[in-house]
């Protein structure tokens, strides 16, 4: 039976989980009284459904022939703008080793092509939350990317596009790595290394932290100055802003600086470089991902720096190295006599005398294993020449006493100042009454020092300078016993 032009056959399709999102399909007699293109029905796509009471929000989206042979009847598709799509349109993916770097929620919308607005919603805006979502606003999802593509459904393509919005949970990505250059210590308020206690600042201990932070182009660029574990409000990373500089400006400024807490010059408002390695031993590099997004890479190149001195001790340890220690003469006795060089005289029967002079030692020279402390310190700035601390080396000197009566040569030693003299007296069989006194000055050390700095050097290292200080400690060798305290007795007779 033919269909009356005043009545339509209607088919209802349910397009989404929401029952109100109906697709209304109606069969229309398109050939009745159709004699030319001029009198054809030119109803435009987007025209409202003629029954505004029963279908007030439906629009014409597609017309196609219902019978391929004659083309007399057409199917007119009316669709409705889909509201509250957030109730059912999300997809979730957790960050993983083989997936995305951030927890991700993808929301897919079917929107009118004519109503698309590139500015809304804005990139970096918060994700909408509906009552049917498993998400909450505190999750902190923000709009990272959005894409508009064809619907892929010939019923919708003429009026609608697929609007896919990708939301991510923007959290810093961290890496912990170890470095064999630095000894690993238990995290305490202080660590004992060798003979000293080294204070530490908050942060990684025995390891180095790397951090990757995502910035939107209008976000103010911030530098991490203290890395913490994120456990509670008191353990949130300490950040310092580079003024009011945004990412899209700061990532183009090679001379960018930020305010720090370092007070090296006893002044306030210390400013340090943002890019490269800063005074805290944190290295920064940046990368632009797109017109909207930038990523900041931060990594510790040394353990946390003391913010007062701007330095950090990388290692301080005891070892044993070979070192030479010179001989030491005995010191002057309490009676003012010089015990370091002594002598005795044998008188001749026919007049005159023979005198012998020889040294006595507190310590003999020693070359061998010596307790050594090595200390390595890092800081951003180069140390001045006056900052390097090296002790004057020990300079032993020989003693040569030469007269017609007495001759003695003593190997280089450390000794106090002394006077050596000789007199012939008035009964010498050869010489008249003659005398002479030689003065020998004190050496720069009169005994082995308890310890001394033998080397203090610096060299460029990881964006700053590495200072290595070597301190040797005197070996614990008992002094040579003075001759006068010998318990035995020996004698010789001439032949």
Domain boundaries, the chain: 9-80, 85-169, 173-309, 316-483
Q: Please report the pLDDT score of residue 343 as a whole number.
A: 84
Chain center to CA of 489: 71
Adjacent-strand bridge partners of 196: 193
pLDDT in tens, 265-315: 544 456 789 999 999 999 999 999 999 999 999 999 998 888 778 888 888
**Whole-number mean pLDDT of the chain?**
80
Coil, helix or strand at residue 384: coil
Chain center to CA of 368: 41
Does the CA dihedral 362-365-367-371 come out positive or negative? positive
The CA dihedral of 84, 89, 93, 99, to the nearest 10 degrees, is -130
Before 121, cis peptide (omega within 30)?
yes
CB 23 within 8 A of CB 15: yes
CB 354 within 8 A of CB 396: no
| Integer Cα distance of 91 and 107 in angstroms | 6
Residues 426, 432, 436: CA angle, nearest 5 degrees: 95
Q: What does the DSSP 8-state code read for residue 248?
A: H
Provide the H-helix boundaries in 341-381.
none
pLDDT in tens, 348-381: 787 777 888 889 999 999 999 999 999 999 999 9
**How many CB atoms lie under 10 A from the CB of residue 343?**
13
| Integer Cα distance of 376 and 458 in angstroms | 9
pLDDT in tens, 442-467: 999 999 999 999 999 999 999 999 99
What backbone torsions phi and psi does residue 32 show, to the nearest 5 degrees?
-65, 125
The terminus-to-terminus CA distance of the chain in angstroms comes to: 163
Q: pTM score, two decimals?
A: 0.72
């Amino acid at each position: 039976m033919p269909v009356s032009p005043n009545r339509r056959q209607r088919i209802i399709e349910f397009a989404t989980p929401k029952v109100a999102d109906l697709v209304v399909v109606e069969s229309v007699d398109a050939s009745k009284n159709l004699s030319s293109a001029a009198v054809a029905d030119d109803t435009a796509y987007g025209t409202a459904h003629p029954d505004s009471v029963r279908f007030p929000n439906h629009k014409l989206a597609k017309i196609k022939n219902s019978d391929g042979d004659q083309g007399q009847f057409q199917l007119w598709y009316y669709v409705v703008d889909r509201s509250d799509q957030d109730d059912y349109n999300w997809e979730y993916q957790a960050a993983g080793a083989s997936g995305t770097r951030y927890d991700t929620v993808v929301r897919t919308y079917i929107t009118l092509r004519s109503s698309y607005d590139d500015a809304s919603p804005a990139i970096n805006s918060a994700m909408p939350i509906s009552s049917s979502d498993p998400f909450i606003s505190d999750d902190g999802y923000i709009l990272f990317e959005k894409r508009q593509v064809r619907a892929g459904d010939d019923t919708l393509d003429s009026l609608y596009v697929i609007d896919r919005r990708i939301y991510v949970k923007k959290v810093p990505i961290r890496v912990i790595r170890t470095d064999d250059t630095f000894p690993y210590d238990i995290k305490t308020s202080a660590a004992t290394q060798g003979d000293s206690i080294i204070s530490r600042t908050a942060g990684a201990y025995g390891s180095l932290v790397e951090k990757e932070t995502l910035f939107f182009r209008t976000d103010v660029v911030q530098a991490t100055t203290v890395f913490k574990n994120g456990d509670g409000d008191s353990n949130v990373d300490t950040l310092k802003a580079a003024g009011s500089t945004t990412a899209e400006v700061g990532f183009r400024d090679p001379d960018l600086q930020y305010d720090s807490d370092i007070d090296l010059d006893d002044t306030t408002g210390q400013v340090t470089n943002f890019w490269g390695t800063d005074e805290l031993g944190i290295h920064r590099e940046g990368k632009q991902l797109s017109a909207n997004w930038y990523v900041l890479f931060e990594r510790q190149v040394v353990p946390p720096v003391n913010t007062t001195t701007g330095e950090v001790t990388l290692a301080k340890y005891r070892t044993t190295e070979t070192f030479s220690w010179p001989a030491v003469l005995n010191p002057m006795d309490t009676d003012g006599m010089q015990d370091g060089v002594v002598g005795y005289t044998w008188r001749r029967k026919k007049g005159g005398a023979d005198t012998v002079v020889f040294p006595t030692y507190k310590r003999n020279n020693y070359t061998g294993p010596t307790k050594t402390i090595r200390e390595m310190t890092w800081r951003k700035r180069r140390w001045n020449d006056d900052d390097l601390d090296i002790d004057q080396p020990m300079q032993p000197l020989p003693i040569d006493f030469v007269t017609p009566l007495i001759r003695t040569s003593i190997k280089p030693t450390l000794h106090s100042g002394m006077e050596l003299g000789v007199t012939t007296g008035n009964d010498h069989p050869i010489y008249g009454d003659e005398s002479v006194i030689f003065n020998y000055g004190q050496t720069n050390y009169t005994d082995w020092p308890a310890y001394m700095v033998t080397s203090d050097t610096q060299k460029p290292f990881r964006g700053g300078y590495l200072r290595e200080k070597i301190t040797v400690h005197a070996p614990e060798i008992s002094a040579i016993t003075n001759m006068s305290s010998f318990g035995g007795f020996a004698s010789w007779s001439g032949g």
